[in-house]
């Protein structure tokens, strides 16, 4: 055994190799729900065990989390971090109603890094629900929301394409965003409370959320 494996056994009372062989397939399957790619999930799982083994001094068994849960959290963090780095979308305040650089992505951006990593997964779920909600809007809102939030068009270009007044377009986008957020929060609350089956999170969605 190397130093880290000896430390692992000293802290957990388990041998690392059998622990790894038991839990790596489970973690790979778990992460594949978010990556939608088994090979990528396996890479993240492998890295999670490596990092976990080298960061054992940060693990505190007295805080209640089992060692495999702690490593699973590291794995989820790696997936989210990798995905965030691909997006690079700044979070913007809700108060900026008509900023032409503002998209609905910013409204549900994950800004508080002090939260558990599971919260970030929940925000990714909201991102997917947002895209679904846009397509279910009444037509006058759906058109402008698709152009603005999914196709990333400027307000002035949307107004020109639809032959509408610019102020009307801005108002409809504001209303559309409000409708989407209400629907998403309602549906997300129902999923959490009733334990409804959730579809895999689509990290390749046109909807980019951090």
Work out the pLDDT band at 183, boundaries 50, 70, 90: confident
Angstrom distance (rounded) from CA 57 to CA 46? 19
End-to-end CA distance of the chain: 40
- pLDDT score recorded for residue 122: 66
- Residues 79-113: tens digit of each pLDDT: 877 776 665 444 333 334 444 544 566 555 544 33
- Which whole number is the average pLDDT over 68-79? 88
- pLDDT score recorded for residue 130: 84
Q: Render 44-112 in DSSP notation, one character per residue.
A: HHHHHHHHHHHTGGG--GGGS--HHHHHHHHHHHHHHHHHHHHH------TT-TT-TT--HHHHT----
- Residues 12-69: tens digit of each pLDDT: 888 999 999 999 999 998 888 777 778 888 999 999 999 998 888 888 877 777 899 8
Q: Which domains does the chain have, with CATH numbers?
A: 3-87 (1.10.1740), 104-194 (1.10.10.10)
- Which whole number is the average pLDDT over 61-78? 85
Place of tokens 């973690």: 27
- Its sign, for the CA torsion 38, 41, 47, 53, is negative
- Which whole number is the average pLDDT over 180-200? 69
- pTM higher than 0.75, yes or no? no
* Residue of higher predicted confidence among 151 and 115: 151
- pLDDT score recorded for residue 206: 54
- Asked if 101 contacts 183 with a C-beta cutoff of 8 angstroms, the reply is no
Work out the pLDDT band at 135, boundaries 50, 70, 90: very high
Work out the pLDDT band at 191, boundaries 50, 70, 90: low
- pLDDT score recorded for residue 128: 79
What percent of the chain is predicted at pLDDT more than 90?
Answer: 25
Spatial neighbors of 42 by CB under 8 A, at least 6 apart, are 28
Helix axes 16-35, 38-54, angle to 10 degrees: 140
- pLDDT score recorded for residue 20: 92
- Residues 137-163: tens digit of each pLDDT: 999 899 999 998 888 888 999 999 999
The mean pLDDT value of the chain amounts to: 76
Kindly report each contact of residues 37-44 with a partner whose C-beta sits within 8 Å and lies 24 or more positions away, as own/partner: 44/75, 44/78, 44/79, 44/82
Angstrom distance (rounded) from CA 207 to CA 134? 11
């Amino acid at each position: 055994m190397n130093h880290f494996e000896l430390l692992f056994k000293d802290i957990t009372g388990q041998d690392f190799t059998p622990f790894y062989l038991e839990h790596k397939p489970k973690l790979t399957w778990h992460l594949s729900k978010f990556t939608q790619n088994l090979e990528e999930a396996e890479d993240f799982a492998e890295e999670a065990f490596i990092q976990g083994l080298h960061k054992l001094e940060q693990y505190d068994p007295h805080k209640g989390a089992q060692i495999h849960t702690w490593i699973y959290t590291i794995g989820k963090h790696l997936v989210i971090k990798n995905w965030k780095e691909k997006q690079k979308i700044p979070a913007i305040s809700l108060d900026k109603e008509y900023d032409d650089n503002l998209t609905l992505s910013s409204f549900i951006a994950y800004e508080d890094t002090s939260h558990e990593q599971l919260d970030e997964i929940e925000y990714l779920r909201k991102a997917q629900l947002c895209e679904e909600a846009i397509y279910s809007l009444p037509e006058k809102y759906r058109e402008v929301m698709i152009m603005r939030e999914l196709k990333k068009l400027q307000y002035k270009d949307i107004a020109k394409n639809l032959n509408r007044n610019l102020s009307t377009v801005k108002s409809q986008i504001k209303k559309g965003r409000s409708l989407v957020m209400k629907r998403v929060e309602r549906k997300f609350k129902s999923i959490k409370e009733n334990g409804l089956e959730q579809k895999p999170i689509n990290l390749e969605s046109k909807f980019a959320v951090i």
